[in-house]
Amino acid sequence: MDRAFGKLRSSLNDLGVKDNTVLWYCSDNGAIQKIGDTGGFRGWKGMIYEGGLLVPAIMEWPAKISKARISMSRCNTVDIYPTLLEIAGIKVSHSHPLDGISLLPLIEGEERQRSKAMGFWDTNTKGVGTPSKGWMTDLLAKQKAEQQEEDPLRLRMDAGEIKKQYHIDELGGHAAWIDGDWKLHRIINKISNKLSYELYNLDKDKFEKHDVIAEENERAEKMKAALNSWQNSVIDSLNGKDYSAK
């Protein structure tokens, strides 16, 4: 990957477009347990605690970022799309609901608190499998035999089809709502199906060790309502209800 990025950056320079090209990289979600390092943050890859969410990101855009700097503002991969739309000056007339915001003000040096809360949800449903080792072994064998690969891109042609309808209680799992320095967890126990909540002040307790929901009940109730609204919006998207939004 390092070599590939080096080739990419060199080619951008050779083409004379490096200064006004956005090169944006971020890590996958969280560190893998036993072989990874979360820096002390709670949880691991696949979890909704900070150890499963916080990852580094790097952006290179010489035309806008003239010297190296570090930003501690909390961002999200859902911000990539609205950010690129604003950079390109594109207005989408019939956009589906967007969870992200444009980070262009942050890129331009206007450090400020995030204007929109963020939701996370690890549901009790399986994702789409990507058995890359098997795919690559099969592809290599066919290449050696000079056989044509039937589906070189391994596309799932049914990926956009709405095959079933979901309900918030059916998906369960672990969700969280981050608003400023506050993070609310909504957890449904996989065995007992019992619902519980936790609340943390990430500014004072970045490792999520001290649940303060009992002391911040009013704040928690407002965040519960906001999280519930967002989760229902996610359900609407899964069920295809916002596909026809105008």
pLDDT in tens, 10-47: 999 999 999 999 999 988 888 888 888 999 999 999 89
* Spatial separation of the C-alpha atoms in residues 52 and 28, rounded to whole Å: 9
β pairing state of 23-26 and 118-122: unpaired
Q: Is the pLDDT of residue 246 over 50?
A: no
> For position 245, what pLDDT does the model report?
46
Per-residue pLDDT at 191 exceeds 70: yes
Q: Return the pLDDT at 157.
A: 60
Q: Does 168 have pLDDT greater than 50?
A: yes
Q: 173 with 188: CB under 8 angstroms?
A: yes
Q: Which residue has the tokens 């262009």?
A: 104
Q: Sheet containing 182-188: which strands, arranged edge to edge?
A: 118-122, 174-179, 182-188, 195-201
| Token pair 């609204």: residue | 229
pLDDT digits (tens, 9 = 90+) for 118-162: 999 999 887 777 778 887 888 888 888 887 666 655 556 666 678
Domains of the chain in start order, with CATH, are 2-112 (no CATH), 121-125+166-238 (3.30.1120.10)
Contact 232, 97 (CB under 8 A): no
* pLDDT (average), residues 158-177: 84
Q: Name the least confident of 27-36, 88-97, 222-231, 237-246.
A: 237-246
Region 196-200 average pLDDT: 97
Three-state secondary structure call for residue 188: strand
Q: Count of H helices and E strands in the chain?
A: 7, 6
Distance (Å, whole) CA 218 – CA 222: 7
Check residue 154 and give its pLDDT.
Answer: 55
pLDDT value, residue 20: 93
pLDDT of 244 reads: 53
Residue 210 pLDDT greater than 50, yes or no: yes
pTM for this predicted structure: 0.84
Condensed to tens digits (0 to 9), the pLDDT of residues 33-86 reads 888 899 999 999 989 999 999 998 999 999 999 999 998 889 999 999 999 999
**Torsion-angle region of 245 (φ positive above 0: left; ψ -120 to 50: alpha; else: beta):** beta
DSSP at 173? S
pLDDT attached to residue 93: 79
Question: In this predicted structure, what is the pLDDT of residue 97?
Answer: 83
DSSP assignment letter at 84: H
